[in-house]
Amino acid sequence: MKKNYLLTPGPTPLPPYVCKALAKKIIHHRTPQFQVVLKEVEENLKYVFQTKNDVYILASSGTGAMEAAVANIISANDRAIVIDGGKFGERWTELNKVYGANIELVKVEWGKSVDPKIIKDILDKDKNIKAVFATHCETSTGVSNDIEALGKIVKDTNAILVVDAISSLGAIDIKTDGWSIDMVVSGSQKGLMLPPGLGFISVSPKAYKLVELCKTPRYYFDLRLSKKALAATDTPFTPAIGIIIALDEVLKDMRQETLEVIFARNKKLAQSTRQAMISLGLELYAGKDSSDSLTAVRVPEGIDGEKLVKTMRDEYGVGIAGGQSQLKGKVFRIAHMGFIREKDLIVCIETLEEVLSKMGYKFEKGKGVKTIEKLLG
């Protein structure tokens, strides 16, 4: 039996205790038994989100939570700033279009982070902006945006700050309350080491006022229902019971390990991977704006990027991600979040060297592995 490694930026590998929790018998959700789980999950979610705000759990992928944010805030013709520097920023743009927002589009060159001053200037001029939609870690480009700076800018305006933290929550530091983020959106299959199927959204009191005023029709993703249910330790509809039971275990594990330790590990994995890539003569797509959640690397000239990813996966059992949209075939992406550890990255880089070498890329063989082994100690 072949051993497979998964280093994609979602889904990420499941720890054995998660698989075990997922194999448990199903229980009914409107029972004291499930309420115990839900209560514990709510409390520990606040720890991971670093917030005192409510965190609602949706039965959807991360995009469902993004849609919930827009549907509960944006009424037709509302002014909204959308920061769009990649595939997932584009998703904010598309969602805002669907819900009829009058968009102030801040296009950011792919591979770069947004300059917070641009947002400040728009907010200074236009007091009617209702919300600023940002992406923390832009998973398509490997860029990390300065959410703390955006929080400081948006905080004292009428607008709220909505952040897609789907690939950053539980992976790199994001302080919901400390950075004044009104809505933090996430999903289960990245930093949280679970299968896909849960969406999360935290809502500040400032944001909840907009939820109540919003004229957009809503049903499944109506956050007013989520709030009411949560107050009674309940959910509006049948939750993804099995994944929530596994989430309970994940959150307890993360709380025990502490966010500080998790973030420090991912940072070390990311820094070491970046150095290893540079030692192979490869170029980081995001340069100085690189996120510690994942590393995006330019495919060298003359190498077929899609074939590289496919060969690593199908012939060597090492799963990494290729590029999306305009980056198809042009980058490959390696994740550092969740249950990814030192040894996984060493195997990944060893395989990458092997396949790059077979494909004709010229470099000093073994240098990447040597670099990462030295840095990981």
Ligand X SMILES: *Cc1c(COP(=O)(O)O)cnc(C)c1O
Interface contacts to ligand X, rule CB under 6 A: 10, 61-63, 88, 135, 137, 139, 164, 166-167, 187, 196
Q: At its nearest, how many Å lie between ligand X and the CB of residue 201?
A: 13
> Given the complex with ligand X, which of 129 and 194 has the nearer CB atom?
194
> Given the complex with ligand X, which of 133 and 316 has the nearer CB atom?
133
> Given the complex with ligand X, which of 7 and 166 has the nearer CB atom?
166
Give phi and psi for 160, each to the nearest 5: -110, 155
Q: At its nearest, how many Å lie between ligand X and the CB of residue 93?
A: 13
Q: At its nearest, how many Å lie between ligand X and the CB of residue 363?
A: 30
Q: At its nearest, how many Å lie between ligand X and the CB of residue 295?
A: 14
> Given the complex with ligand X, which of 72 and 135 has the nearer CB atom?
135
Q: At its nearest, how many Å lie between ligand X and the CB of residue 309?
A: 17
Q: At its nearest, how many Å lie between ligand X and the CB of residue 66?
A: 6
> Given the complex with ligand X, which of 72 and 188 has the nearer CB atom?
188
> Given the complex with ligand X, which of 86 and 151 has the nearer CB atom?
86
> Given the complex with ligand X, which of 220 and 363 has the nearer CB atom?
220
Query: Tokens standing for 142?
Result: 């490997």
How far is CA 196 from each of CA 64, 148, 186, 190, 247, rounded to the nearest angstrom?
11, 28, 11, 8, 11
Rounded Cα distance, 138 and 213, in Å:
30
> Given the complex with ligand X, which of 196 and 281 has the nearer CB atom?
196
- By beta carbon distance, the residue nearest ligand X is 62
